């Protein structure tokens, strides 16, 4: 494990869980937050992750970075701002870290990069299970910003040799806030989960995956999907796919198996979700 980690977006749902986990493992942290806020980090700075001087200050003493700072979805801000803020923040954080010789970085990419969750015209899956080779069908600025983030990670690795892991996170929540209502919605109307293939991840597992990605088994630039192994819908996956993704090439999925290839994250990070929401 690294000795000191910079966590950007540290006041958010996932960032808070990451700080809690790193504290439990005895790793010191610096938190970068947009607005002044209390955190569990040893040092907290407030400001915009697009500011190179601020990021350079936040990186003092850090030997790893977990970058989470971003506008989390389109629709609440102008399209140009969603793309510009997200992509510029990722470039600034990775560039400043690489220039200072920080060897490992993790960025929060998104399942939404595939294009379907925020699609602005009808789309269909090219095939299942979803994996990192799936052709992207981007029609929104948030997914585009994540594609730019992953390209930035690739550039940083090529230029500096930094190991960067981009985790394509699904819908993330905790049993007490977001997962319960979403599971109830999928039970009543499973079509609401079709674009996300009913995938999710408990926030504690999201934190575990991000921390595990600081020490991948093989250095390099990696793009990985993580999710709970079973869907958040009570219906069998085969029934869901027959109804909402008919004709999409796929193997058979037993029970409620999530139709996402989770093997690369298991092989590279040793990660498998431990917290499944009780569905049905």
CA–CA separation, 151 and 135 (whole Å): 15
- Percentage of the chain beyond pLDDT 70 is 100
Which helix (H) or strand (E) element contains residue 97?
Answer: helix 79-99
Residue 121: predicted pLDDT: 94
Per-residue tokens: 60 = 């003092």
Residue 176: predicted pLDDT: 84
Neighbour-count burial of 158, counting CB atoms closer than 10 A to its CB (0-12 exposed, 13-18 middle, 19+ buried): exposed
The three-state secondary structure class of 148 is helix
pLDDT in tens, 196-253: 999 999 999 999 999 999 999 999 999 999 999 999 999 999 999 999 999 999 999 9
pLDDT in tens, 85-136: 999 999 999 999 999 999 999 999 999 999 999 999 999 999 999 999 999 9
CA–CA separation, 193 and 58 (whole Å): 38
Cβ(277)–Cβ(228) under 8 Å?
A: yes
pLDDT in tens, 156-192: 999 999 999 999 999 999 988 899 999 999 999 999 9
At residue 35 the predicted structure's pLDDT band, cuts being 50, 70 and 90, is very high
CA–CA separation, 79 and 252 (whole Å): 38
At residue 280 the predicted structure's pLDDT band, cuts being 50, 70 and 90, is confident
Q: Cα separations (Å) of 236 from 110, 230, 240?
A: 25, 10, 6
Question: Which DSSP letter does residue 195 get?
Answer: G
Domain ranges in the chain are 4-175+198-230+258-269
The per-type count for the chain, helices as H runs and strands as E runs, is: 8, 9
Q: Which fold has domain 4-175+198-230+258-269?
A: Rossmann fold (3.40.50)
């Amino acid at each position: 494990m690294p000795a000191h980690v910079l966590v950007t977006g540290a006041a958010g749902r996932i960032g808070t869980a990451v700080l809690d986990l790193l504290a439990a493992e005895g790793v010191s942290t610096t938190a970068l937050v947009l607005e002044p806020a209390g955190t569990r980090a040893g040092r907290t700075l407030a400001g915009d992750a697009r500011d190179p001087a601020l990021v350079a200050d936040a990186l003092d003493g850090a030997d790893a970075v977990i970058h989470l700072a971003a506008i989390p979805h389109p629709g609440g801000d102008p399209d140009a701002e969603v793309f510009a803020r997200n992509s510029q923040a990722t470039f600034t954080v990775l560039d400043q870290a690489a220039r200072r010789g920080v060897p490992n970085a993790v960025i929060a990419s998104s399942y939404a990069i595939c294009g379907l969750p925020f699609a602005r015209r009808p789309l269909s899956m090219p095939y299942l299970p979803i994996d990192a080779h799936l052709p992207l069908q981007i029609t929104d600025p948030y997914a585009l910003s994540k594609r730019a983030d992953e390209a930035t990670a690739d550039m940083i690795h090529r230029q500096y040799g930094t190991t960067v892991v981009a985790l394509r996170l699904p819908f993330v929540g905790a049993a007490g806030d977001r997962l319960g209502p979403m599971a109830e919605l999928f039970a009543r109307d499973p079509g609401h989960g079709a674009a996300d293939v009913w995938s999710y991840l408990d926030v504690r597992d999201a934190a575990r995956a991000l921390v595990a990605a600081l020490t991948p088994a093989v250095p390099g630039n990696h793009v990985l999907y993580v999710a709970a192994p079973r869907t958040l819908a009570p219906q069998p996956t085969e029934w869901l796919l027959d109804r909402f993704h008919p004709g999409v090439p796929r193997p058979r999925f037993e029970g409620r198996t999530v139709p996402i290839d989770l093997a690369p994250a298991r092989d590279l990070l040793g990660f498998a979700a431990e917290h499944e929401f009780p569905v049905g």
